[in-house]
Amino acid sequence: MTTKNLISITELSTQEIEELIACAQDIIAEPDKYADKCRRKKLATLFFEPSTRTRLSFEAAMLELGGSVLGFSEAASSSASKGESVSDTAITVSCYADIIAMRHPKEGAPLVAGLSAGVPVINAGDGGHNHPTQTLTDLLTIFREKGRLGNLKIGCCGDLKFGRTVHSLVEACARYEGNSFVLISPEELRVPDNIKTNVLERSGIDYIETDNWDALPELDILYMTRVQRERFFNEADYLRLKDEFILTADRLENAKSDLSILHPLPRVNEIEKAVDNDPRACYFKQALNGKYIRMALILKLLGVD
Ligand code: CP
């Protein structure tokens, strides 16, 4: 890969994304082939913000490649709590690990880490900014479910303002021909203008913004998101908006029979539990795909054949 670090999905060419997907598919088909690829390699997971899927799937990925993991899961148990900078942390951890996955509440922190670290740094989510490995997970899931990444009508629903996964997914899917977007959210939680202008409009992608479910029957993909309580300045606004879009089993009656429902998770209440039994629900398969695509990414960034 041309990049040493992965901070944003924009750093990957379409060809590199497709190579990662192909590698993940091969890992899924023949896991034994990869069981020893990272023997004696160490992954450090530096998580300054909570996570279940991203941290544990990174760790599972490295363990399944035959490597080892070390790290911390909260800032309080690192020397950041004593005032150590992100840069110094990255330089120090480079002494102990071959690759770093970092989540941080501050936008740009993994970029800063990547500039100082002596080993590859992967952005595992920085504030409301980027979450490139989630996007790779989403793309792998879409590819496995639909057999293609283009010619899809993609609905994104929920918190499209703070939901970093939506921003990166829009950026990635805008590269493929024939995709269009239906952006379903309360007015206050719409996709930021810079993404509409710099990504959708610049790429000539069709999209509509709406505050209702009317387009659900036309969708090939429905990408649900939770309202991101931790990014609100005002609790009253969160409480007012959090229940505006809840996907129920009843609502799905008019959706396509081959709709794929994705969600980066964690879910709060925006998808009714009954939907989990619907064959169109893909979000737990998506969580599993996250491990395979991270295995592929670790291999590529470490230059393991
Ligand atoms: N999708 C995702 O980033 O989940 P976690 O916050 O649990 O890592």
Average pLDDT over residues 31-45: 98
Atom 6, ligand 1: residue with shortest CA distance: 51
Residue 256 a catalytic site member: no
Index of the ligand 1 atom closest to the CA of residue 50: 6
Index of the ligand 1 atom closest to the CA of residue 287: 1
Q: Is the dihedral of CA 207, 287, 117, 301 positive or negative?
A: negative
CA distance 262 to 260: 6
- Over the stretch 144-187, which tens digit does the pLDDT of each residue have? 999 999 999 999 999 998 888 999 999 999 999 999 999 999 99
- H/E element, 209: strand 206-210
Q: Which domains does the chain have, with CATH numbers?
A: 9-130+290-302 (3.40.50.1370), 133-286 (3.40.50.1370)
Residue 33 a catalytic site member: no
CA distance 159 to 238: 10
pLDDT at 128 over 80: no
The mean pLDDT value of the chain amounts to 94
CA of 204 to the centre of ligand 1 (A): 31
- The pLDDT of residue 134: 97
Candidate of 47, 54, 167 to mutate for ligand 1, largest count of ligand atoms within 8 Å of Cβ: 54
∠ Cα 129 131 136 (to 5°): 145
* Residue of 17, 72, 21 lying closest to 49 (CA atoms): 72
- The pLDDT of residue 240: 72
Residue 131 a catalytic site member: yes
Residue 127: pLDDT band with limits 50, 70, 90: confident
